[in-house]
Amino acid sequence: MIGAPQYLLTLYIAEREDGEETPISPGYVADALDRSPPAATERLQNLDAKGLVRYEPYEGATLTDEGRDAAEELYDTYRILSRFCRDVLGVDDHEDEAMQLVGNVSPTVAERLAATLLRGGDNRGEATEAAESASQPSPDSPAS
């Protein structure tokens, strides 16, 4: 299931690309989150009612200050998760994975995960690579 975090995050990410002023269409959100257009519309209207989003019919959604604050925090967590999945675990679709997780990870875990990333630098262990090649062999490595 998909919750408010995913919608806020989608808006936030789109906003980074198109600018803060550009309203994001329901169609775009629906597409990004794999939902029907009506579902996206209603959800955005709902976030509007909660004061997290400003929704203009037939225009689209923009984040309110409050919504952007919330989204920023989610985005931090999202980035941490995504980078962890990519750099440490070597997961291909790290962004999808992070999007899935972002609502369920506590602030504490996010924070310490970030610390782990900083500490660990770029060393991906060979155990991870071994696991990776077991499921999808890379052209260069000898498949045991």
Q: Which residue has the tokens 């919608």?
A: 7
3-state helix, strand, coil in the chain (%, to 5): 65, 5, 30
Nearer to DNA, 25 or 62 (CB): 25
Measured distance CA(42)–CA(33) in Å, rounded:
14
State the nearest-atom distance from the C-beta of 11 to DNA, in Å.
13
Measured distance CA(85)–CA(21) in Å, rounded:
32
Does the protein bind DNA through residue 35 (CB under 7 A)? yes
Nearer to its own copies, 49 or 131 (CB): 131
Residue 57's binding partner among its own copies, DNA, none (Cβ under 5 to 8 angstroms by kind) is DNA
Does the protein bind DNA through residue 104 (CB under 7 A)? no
110 three-state secondary structure: helix
Measured distance CA(43)–CA(87) in Å, rounded:
33
Nearer to its own copies, 37 or 117 (CB): 117
Nearer to DNA, 39 or 109 (CB): 39
Q: Which residues bind DNA (CB under 7 A)?
A: 1-4, 25-28, 30, 33-39, 41-46, 55, 57-60
